[in-house]
């Protein structure tokens, strides 16, 4: 039997809020849970082709489980025991970012990201068609951050995912921009989003 143990009520509420937002964006979504060093990290895809994650204190057996988000949400909100069964049977497509190798590039004021997101949403309302937002808008670089010997270009889709998941808190804590050789990550008050920096390898001629 799969067991997810969250002894702290606040951690359980935080994870429940994360999963609820995932379900709100996509009722058929799955959540991948991974445990290590006394914490459980939840990962989910978003409609913006950006990964969202939230980490809380807890344990999980087995240590890597993919569950339907709706089933996990029910377990967290309905079951009253300290250990719940998150469910199994979900399919996870794609890779997760690495656990190590991240370099902090810079910190960006949350208000700046919120302003960029609002401008992007205004453009999206004007240009969206029957198939949703145009890929050109989602892939547009809206923020370039340089530091620690690297430059990171952040596309609009990352800001939409950050906002859609409700990760920027009212306390306006700065958002940390980190990177590896092929991934970028934005860490905000209530969670983080991540996306590959390189979508294809160049051909070697």
Q: What is the pLDDT of residues 44-70, one digit of tens each?
A: 999 999 999 999 999 999 999 999 999
Residues 79 and 157 in one domain: no
Residue 129 is predicted with a pLDDT of 67
Q: Is the pLDDT higher at 31 or at 136?
A: 31
Question: 63: which residues sit within 8 A by CB, 6+ positions away?
Answer: 34, 35, 36
Q: For the residues 157-169, what does the mean pLDDT come to?
A: 93
Phi, psi dihedral angles at 61 (to 5 degrees):
-135, 120
Q: Is the pLDDT higher at 126 or at 68?
A: 68
Residue 3 — pLDDT band, cuts 50, 70, 90? very high
193 forms bridges with which residues in the sheet?
Answer: 52, 186
94 found inside a domain? no
Question: 36: which residues sit within 8 A by CB, 6+ positions away?
Answer: 63, 99
Residues 56 and 136 in one domain: no
Tally of domains in the chain: 2
Domain end (from 84, 112, 145): 84
Domain end (from 84, 112, 134): 84
Domain region containing 168: 103-196
Residues 72 and 138 in one domain: no
CATH number of residue 47's parent domain: 3.10.150.10
Residue 131 — pLDDT band, cuts 50, 70, 90? low
Residues 75 and 110 in one domain: no
**Mean pLDDT for the chain?**
91
Residues 133 and 73 in one domain: no
Rounded Cα distance, 193 and 46, in Å: 9
Residue 91 — pLDDT band, cuts 50, 70, 90? confident
Poorest-confidence range of 2-11, 122-131, 165-174, 190-199?
A: 122-131
70 found inside a domain? yes
Q: What percent of the chain has pLDDT over 70?
A: 93
| Whole-Å CA distances, 80 to 5, 75, 87 | 11, 9, 16
User: What is the biggest distance separating any 2 CA atoms in the chain, rounded to whole angstroms?
Assistant: 60
Q: For the residues 107-129, what does the mean pLDDT come to?
A: 89
Whether pLDDT at 8 is above 50: yes
pTM (2 d.p.): 0.91
Whether pLDDT at 140 is above 70: yes
């Amino acid at each position: 039997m799969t067991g997810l143990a969250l002894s702290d009520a606040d951690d359980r509420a935080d994870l429940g809020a994360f999963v609820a937002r995932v379900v709100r964006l996509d009722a058929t979504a799955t959540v991948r849970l991974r445990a290590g060093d006394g914490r459980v990290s939840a990962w989910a895809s978003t409609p913006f082709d950006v990964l969202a994650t939230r980490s809380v204190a807890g344990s999980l057996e087995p240590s890597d489980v993919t569950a339907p988000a709706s089933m996990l949400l029910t377990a967290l909100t309905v079951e009253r025991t300290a250990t719940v069964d998150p469910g199994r049977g979900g399919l996870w497509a794609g890779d997760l970012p690495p656990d190590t190798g991240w370099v902090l590039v810079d910190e960006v004021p949350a208000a700046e990201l919120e302003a960029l997101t609002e401008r992007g949403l205004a453009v999206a309302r004007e240009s969206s068609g029957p198939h949703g937002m145009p890929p050109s808008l989602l892939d547009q670089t809206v923020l370039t951050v340089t530091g620690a010997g690297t430059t990171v270009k952040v596309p609009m889709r990352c800001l939409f995912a950050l906002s859609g998941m409700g990760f920027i808190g009212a306390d306006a804590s700065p958002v940390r921009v980190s990177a590896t050789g092929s991934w970028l990550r934005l860490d905000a008050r209530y969670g983080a989003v991540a996306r590959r920096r390189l979508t294809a390898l160049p051909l070697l001629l």
